[in-house]
Amino acid sequence: MPVGGAVRPFRFGVNMLAVSEPASWSATARRAEDLGYDVLLVPDHLGLPAPFPTLVAAAAVTSLRVGTFVLNAAFHNPALLARDVATTDTLVGGRLELGIGTGYVADEFAVAGIPFGSPGERVAHLERMIDALAAHLADPAGLPRPVQRSVPLLIGGNGDRMLSLAARRADIVAFTGAAADPTATGGMRLLSADAFAERIAFYEQAAGPRGVDIERNLLLQVVAPGDSRESALAEYGAAHGRDGRGERATAPTLLAGSPDEMVAQVHDLRDRFGITYLTVLQPSMETFAPVIDAVRHG
């Protein structure tokens, strides 16, 4: 875990994958707050609602922080994005957190008429976007002005380029805990604990002393309660056609087991990897809530 800084308190976020009509969306946002979440997040994909209006609607009925998880840099012009960021931060009372990445769904680029490019080209574009966005937001003549002096910037990834960029520029680094693998289910292979530890070590080397000030996030891909971690993963694997044994059983992105085991896993993520900000997907919002309560009050 980070050396030289105070231990961060835990934060918990939920990434919303479906937004319904206004009354239901408001109720869902309130439910996330009632369950103990700190941050309500939305992704940036074609076929889903536009992120910023969705966040404003959620912030209007809760005191949650809100954020993008994450914007596709290729979809946005930096000057227009700066206007959206500043306006949204104003409307939500300084509660915005900005997650931004390269985008990874080739079909979405095609539909939008945007060249997909190589991974290196997309990372280079992302860095140019971050530079330009920062310049626009720092311009004293720019209107409106965000409420926060600096809207927290989240950059996520697993590869060397993205983790190095996060080490240089992010306020929050979001580890995916997965690597691209065309042979794996969904095209992504979850990292074992040892493989994840190597990614953490790479990031720490890249960040140097600055790493103490950067919050670490991890997206939990699965939350599977059960009598034990082994039985919960076996049940999950049987239900979803995936093998929960072997290296996969150690994956930090798989939270599974009895309530006590899951709480212990959360603490292990902080003690071993310095992860203090955990995000779950919307389908796990209710299931993960008792873990939040136990971590905070147990």
Q: What is the pLDDT of residues 85-129, one digit of tens each?
A: 999 999 999 999 999 999 999 999 999 999 999 999 999 999 999
Burial class (CB in 10 A: 0-12, 13-18, 19+), 56: middle
Q: Which CATH number fits domain 11-297: 3.40.50.150, 3.40.50.1820, 3.60.15.10, 3.20.20.30?
A: 3.20.20.30
158 and 102 in contact (C-beta within 8 Å)?
Answer: no
Statement: residue 188 has pLDDT above 90: no
Q: Residue 7: its pLDDT value, please? A: 84
Residue 292 has pLDDT above 90, yes or no: yes
Say what percent of the chain tops pLDDT 90.
83
Task: Give the pLDDT confidence score for residue 235 in this predicted structure.
Answer: 85
pLDDT of residue 4: 57
Q: Which of 114-128, 150-164, 174-188 has the lowest mean pLDDT?
A: 174-188
Residue 3, pLDDT > 80, answer: no
- Give residue 76's pLDDT: 98
**How confident is residue 278, by pLDDT bands cut at 50, 70 and 90?**
very high
Res 181: pLDDT: 79
The reply to whether omega before 144 is within 30° of 0 (cis) is yes
Average pLDDT over residues 229-234: 88
Please report which confidence band the pLDDT of residue 143 belongs to, taking 50, 70 and 90 as the band edges: confident
pLDDT above 80 (res 239): no
Whole-number Å distance between alpha carbons of 279 and 35: 14
Whether this model's pTM surpasses 0.85: yes
Q: How many CA atoms lie within 13 A of 197 on its CB side?
A: 7
Q: What angle do CA 274, 276, 277 make, to 5 degrees?
A: 130
